[in-house]
Amino acid sequence: MRVTIWKNDKESSERSITRFNKKVQGSRKILKLKAEKFHAAKLSKRKVRDAAVLREGYRAINKKNAFYN
């Protein structure tokens, strides 16, 4: 999808550029391009498991502390 704007008659060039930039940010095209540029490799099974163990530990701590707040 292409992002386009039309400059209004009484609108300054700076304002139209700002409006265009907001539309580009809203379309999230830049984020998609950056994600493609800096592609991260998939995590190994071991790292996925380690992350899951840590996550469960944090959940247990938060659940325990929820009663004391």
Phi-psi region for residue 36, left (φ > 0), alpha (ψ -120 to 50) or beta? alpha
Q: pTM of the prediction?
A: 0.47
Instruction: Kindly list the domain boundaries of the chain, sorted by start residue.
Output: 13-66
Q: For residues 13 and 7, is the Cβ–Cβ distance under 8 A?
A: yes
Structure tokens at 17: 């550029």
> What is the C-alpha separation between 21 and 14, in angstroms, rounded?
11
Q: What is the pLDDT of residue 44?
A: 96
Q: For 13-50, how does the pLDDT look when each residue is reduced to its tens digit (9 = 90+)?
A: 999 999 999 998 888 888 888 888 887 788 999 999 99
Q: What is the pLDDT of residue 1?
A: 63
